[in-house]
A = this chain, B = another copy of it.
């Protein structure tokens, strides 16, 4: 218990609950990081990557489900949701958004600790050395997944939500060809009756913003008759 235990990010706005968690975790050897809201949580998580996140859904500044999704955009850290909401739909939404467990208040400390051990057990296996970089870089291009910020040669590039989603999708599958259908499904949702024309319009827009010479794309290359590919370097 003298060594540095796992680092836990506690996201909770009620001071009482926070005190309780602080005391419970500290006495079991965990190191703590505390955030009172979603924005602070996201900032802290990217600045000091924790081993586990305890997330209260009832935050003052943002939806907890959305915060879960935001975290999942760039990290696989175990997320244990704590909430007063007992509705089944809330649980399903949180779990499907990327949470690993859902605990309803009131709960016992021992159950919390046991569920934390389960989460850390999973992480220990999966994250051995594969902790995903929160930043993707290729040539002059840089995508900060945690901050949702894209820069080209140091200058910030403003992207609309769809453009960003598209670029991240391409970058995370760098090297692989993504078909028009795959892209439509991932970006516009599975039930979209959209045409491949959409993809073209957005690719053109992305190239204008992200490529040094849009007419001679370095990264976003088209594979005729198939789809597109992100080329690194």
Choose from B88, B91, B108, B148 the contact partner of A223 (Cβ within 8 Å): B148
Query: 1/0 contact trace for A115-126 toward B, CB 8 Å?
Result: 101100010011
Q: B177 to A148, Cβ gap below 8 A?
A: yes
Answer yes or no: A92 CB below 8 A from chain B CBs: yes
Answer yes or no: A14 CB below 8 A from chain B CBs: no
Chain A stretch 165-187: residues in CB contact (< 8 A) with chain B: 175-177
Query: 1/0 contact trace for A147-158 toward B, CB 8 Å?
Result: 111000000000
Main secondary structure of the interface of A (DSSP, over half): mixed
Answer yes or no: A114 CB below 8 A from chain B CBs: yes
Answer yes or no: A225 CB below 8 A from chain B CBs: yes
| Chain B residues in 8 Å Cβ range of A146 | 176
Q: A100 to B118, Cβ gap below 8 A?
A: yes
Q: A224 to B161, Cβ gap below 8 A?
A: yes
**A148: nearest chain-B partner, CB-CB:** B177
Choose from B89, B122, B160 the contact partner of A122 (Cβ within 8 Å): B122
Q: A176 to B147, Cβ gap below 8 A?
A: yes
Q: How far is the CB of A20 from the nearest CB of chain B, in Å? A: 16
Whole-angstrom distance between the alpha carbons of A91 and B104 in the complex? 14
Answer yes or no: A195 CB below 8 A from chain B CBs: no
Q: How far is the CB of A133 from the nearest CB of chain B, in Å? A: 10
Q: B114 to A161, Cβ gap below 8 A?
A: no
Q: A111 to B126, Cβ gap below 8 A?
A: no
Choose from B101, B117, B224 the contact partner of A96 (Cβ within 8 Å): B117
Q: B122 to A95, Cβ gap below 8 A?
A: no
A and B contact pairs by CB, cutoff 8 A, 19 listed: A88-B108, A88-B110, A92-B111, A92-B114, A100-B122, A122-B126, A125-B126, A126-B126, A129-B130, A147-B175, A147-B177, A148-B176, A148-B177, A148-B226, A148-B229, A160-B224, A160-B225, A161-B224, A161-B226
Given A92-B113, A126-B126, A148-B177, 10 more A-B residue pairs with CB atoms under 8 Å apart are A76-B125, A92-B111, A95-B114, A95-B118, A101-B118, A122-B122, A125-B126, A147-B176, A148-B226, A149-B177
Q: Which 6 A-B pairs have the closest CB atoms?
A: A161-B225, A148-B177, A95-B114, A88-B108, A92-B114, A147-B176
